[in-house]
Copies of this chain bind each other. A is one copy, B any other.
């Protein structure tokens, strides 16, 4: 049988990261390529207890079909939680629904808003999982270069002026994946003004917002949203568990019914046991103490990695210290072929992600790679960075 693949899926390839991850299931490989929470960061005991309580009190509800929008109690809990972290996140005309991870929120929003050939603007580089979800509806993806405080707004304005049928601007304002960059408040405001001026939806993805290790909180773009321009995606993957697949979407109630129908078509509803676990966790645990603990774990790992990189790279690799999140974006010196470097590192059993994976145009030249510090154990961080330093040395000699 010769399958006739739809035009939207015909050129789609698996995410480079997940393919690398698959090849690095080998425990001998040092996992700087992943984006997994640290095993130490999982509240295992609490979730085990919560699960017992759920089966003791609501066993049938935990196994039965549920509603597409998400469990009513969890929706109220998450609303309270999210608006506690980001005052003004929701206005009266906004609704919050539960999705199967922020990934699903991005996928459904793209499905509802994009026709083939429409234009989506994104930070360049950006999260490949989101870019692929967007690509799977066959729009044209236009990358806007990143600066140290977020998107280059002149380039953004130029794109808004010249590109036809721009439908969406996709951004990760906090500790962006992969660049680690945090968008300044000035840029958030200016981005919102531009989106409003050109009538374009902002898809705001905030998976790392609670993982800030230094500096002051900057409000989400959604908190500025008086027009219903912003679709906001949150997730419990980085602060409770990614395996449970629970996230949420906040959007204007004029748009939300379409997102709900799209979700109904996609998976009927999010695993209800996962929803009940998140609900109990958010209501029964001291979330401030939990976040402090996560921040402490990750701040230490980040510092360990940066200290090791300073010693191993001796100023030859460019990177900025991120204020939070899970990633450090590293740029090799001129003359070093990035893909060859990544392959040489892999041969030494150190996995990093080639920067090309994160570009709007994956065939563009790129001399950067992404390092993750949450997944590896501390000894792996020290050893792995030292190996990268040796590998680099071979390229520079």
Contacts and interface: CB of A to CB of B under 8 A. Distances in A.
B229 A1 contact: yes
A5 B258 CA distance: 8
Given A9-B258, A47-B55, A4 B265 contact: no
A129 interface: yes
B36 A101 contact: no
A80 interface: no
B67 A244 contact: no
Interface in A109-134: 111-116, 129, 132-133
A14 interface: yes
Contacts of A51: 51-52, 55
A255 interface: yes
A229 B48 CA distance: 44
Contact of A271 (B59, B63, B243): B243
A241 B63 contact: yes
A222 interface: no
Nearest to A108: B266
A12 B258 contact: yes
Given A21-B67, A67-B22, A112 B5 contact: yes
Contacts of A257: 14
Interface stretch (A37-45, A296-304, A353-361, A389-397): A37-45
A205 to B, nearest CB: 14
A136 interface: yes
B258 A245 contact: no
Contacts of A265: 12, 103, 107, 129, 132-133, 135-136
Interface in A184-228: 199, 201, 227-228
A268 B14 contact: no
A332 B264 CA distance: 30
Contacts of A258: 3, 5, 9, 12
A179 interface: no
Contact of A274 (B4, B9, B274): B274
A379 interface: no
A364 interface: no
Contacts of A60: 39, 42, 44
9 contacts: A4-B113, A42-B60, A48-B52, A63-B244, A100-B100, A104-B267, A111-B136, A136-B265, A243-B271
